Amino acid sequence: MTPERGALLVSTVLYPGLNEQLLGWLPLIIGDAVAKLLASYLDTNLWQVGTKWPNDVLIQPRPDSGIELEEVPGWGQARKVCGVLCELVANPNGSYAVIAGVGINVAQSREQLPVDWAGSLALAGANVKIPALVLELGTTIDFALRELGVNGEGPAKVTSLPPVLHRRICHGCLTLGQQVQVGEGDDVVAGIATDIRPQLVISTPSGEVEVQAGDVLKTRFAS
C-alpha cells in the first residue's frame, strides 16, 4: 500500500486530436516530458533521468557519482519512479478522448516500495512539494501536446510526429543502445534496442523486429 502523501497519482482527460495511428506515441511523449520535469528536482550531476520504453520514467546514478545501488536483474541500478498509462475512450459521436494516468513515487522510503526496482524522488535526495508538482505536471503535459501540434481548437488532426520530437524521445530513452530482451519462453525477442516508431525496434541476429508491447529487461549495455 502506498503511504499517505508518498506518491502523486493524477488522471487527465485529453482530447489530443491525433491520428489514431499516432496514439501509441502519447505515453512516450508524456513520459519524456515528465522525465525532464522530475530531473529539475534532482542533482543531475549525480542522477540520470530518462524513460524506459514504453511508459516508465527511471532514475539511475551516473557512473562518476559515487552512488552505488544494488544491481537488480533486468534493471541494473535503474529505479522506476514514474509510470504513464494512456487509455483510449470512444465517444458515441465517433470522437474519442484519452485518459492519461501518471503515477510518481515522491516520498516513499525503501521499505515502503513494493519491488526492488522501484525508487522515489526522496531516496534520490529531492524535496518535493506535491501541490507544486501537481501544477507543474499539468503545465508540462499541456506544453508537450502543444509541441506536438495539438491545441484543441479545431477538427484538424496531427498526422505525423515532428522529427524534432522523435529525436528528443529517442535521446531521452534509456532503453536504446542496450542489449535487451522482451517476452517470455518461446516468445522472447533479444537484441540491441535501436529505435522507437513508437514500437521498440530491436536489432537481432536475424534482422530488425518491432515489438508492440511488453516488459523490457536489460541484459547488458551494447558494446
Is pLDDT of 119 > 70?
Answer: yes
Is pLDDT of 1 > 50?
Answer: no
pLDDT at 163: 93
pLDDT at 223: 41
Task: Report how far residue 142's alpha carbon sits from residue 153's, in angstroms, rounded to the nearest whole number.
Answer: 14
Beta bridge partners of 137: none
pLDDT at 96: 82
Q: Where are the domains of the chain?
A: 7-174, 176-222
Confidence of residue 16 (pLDDT cuts 50, 70, 90): confident
Confidence of residue 222 (pLDDT cuts 50, 70, 90): very low
User: What does the pLDDT look like over 134-178, one tens digit per residue?
Assistant: 999 999 999 998 888 775 544 457 788 999 999 999 999 999 999
Task: Report how far residue 128's alpha carbon sits from residue 121's, in angstroms, rounded to the nearest whole number.
Answer: 8
Q: What is the mean pLDDT of residues 168-193?
A: 93
At 193, is the secondary structure helix, strand, or coil?
A: strand
User: What does the pLDDT look like over 33-87, one tens digit per residue?
Assistant: 999 999 999 999 999 999 999 999 999 999 999 999 999 999 999 999 999 999 9
Q: Please give the model's pTM, rounded to 2 decimal places.
A: 0.91
Its CATH architecture, for the domain 7-174, is 2-Layer Sandwich (3.30)
Contacts of residue 87, Cβ cutoff 8 Å, sequence gap at least 6: 98, 99, 101
Tell me the fold of 176-222.
Answer: SH3 type barrels. (2.30.30)
pLDDT at 27: 96
